[in-house]
Structure 1
Amino acid sequence: MTSSLPFDSLFQLVVDLPSRRPSPALPQRLAVLFRELAKPHSEGAADEIEDQIWALWISHEDRAAEEAMAAAIEALGTGALDEAAPLLDDLVSRYPDWPEAWNRRATLASIEQRDADSLEDIKRTLELEPRHFGAIAGFGEICLRHGLLNEARAAFQIALALDPHLEGLREILDDLAPENLMLH
């Protein structure tokens, strides 16, 4: 099963992310926010910066697109996956340069354990927005599901380099440390 999934090419993209530039269509303010996020902060301040990044990622100049994204996010949040799917399919079709549309569709595919589809959408997300710590973490979670511990560890480390305040990832990394794996 694992061999048919595009882990190798996506892993290479993830490893190369620090050298990639985000799409020029993304708000320039994101660069400032990512520099700020990399600094030590209280949990509340870091959460506020993360919230601003997510708000910029889900925003769109087209009001109808924003409303569809909001509806898709709500559907995902309530488990109404059948409602989210057509909204997200339409968003990636109509706005192929919107990284968050691809990321949310990747999330849906991951929830449904359609990992090949999720990986393809994560790839497109990261081609457009190489700083997308959520998509990188999602790649790491799929790697874990397929027993690719080194790839998962690397993905989580890269996500943490972008957002050092993701405590849940830090805990996963601690669990994946070789000395902790020996204990299980």
Structure 2
Amino acid sequence: MSKTRSDAWSYHNDLTLAQTVIKHITDGSTQLRAFQEVGETLGRTAGACGFRWNSNVRKKYAREIRMAKVHRQDRKNVRKTQNDIGFKKQNQELDIKIMILSVKNLKKVYDKTQSQIKQLMINLEKIDKTISSLKVEREKLISLTNKKEDSPITPNEDYQALLSIVQHANRLMNSNSKTNFKQEKIG
């Protein structure tokens, strides 16, 4: 007569272990998480569940495991395709937003540049007027210089005449101040 252990694995325990592990495989989770979940449900350690799975249960469910892996891969491909489509759509929306911002920034730069061009045109007109007035003044000076060259008195002669007048005035002032000084002493 054989004795049955009180903590032996039952058919229902094996079935719970198999279903949980296959569900985790299908969902893309790890077997270790499945062992932890089953261990909590059955009151066993995750190590005991892993040992039972690897030593006994896994061989019985090989076909279901393969199907779960194929299903997981299919779901992963679908998610990737959906993500790619969603990512492309998000990228397109982002590209459109970036383009709109770029156009707005270009408009600001264009408006600022137009304003600067207007200011430069105003400055250019002022410079042109200044150049024109300087040309007129230059012509007047050239004309005056030509008239001076035509006159018999040269600038040097004017200077000499002015210098002699100043010297004569100095002499008169010096002689006049000495006379006043002498008169004050006498009187």
Which structure exhibits the higher relative contact order, with contacts defined as CA atoms closer than 8 Å and separated by 6 or more residues? 1
Q: Which has the higher helix share?
A: 2
User: By the TM > 0.5 criterion, same fold?
Assistant: no
User: TM-score normalized by structure 1?
Assistant: 0.20
Structure number with greater Rg is: 2
User: TM-score normalized by structure 2?
Assistant: 0.20
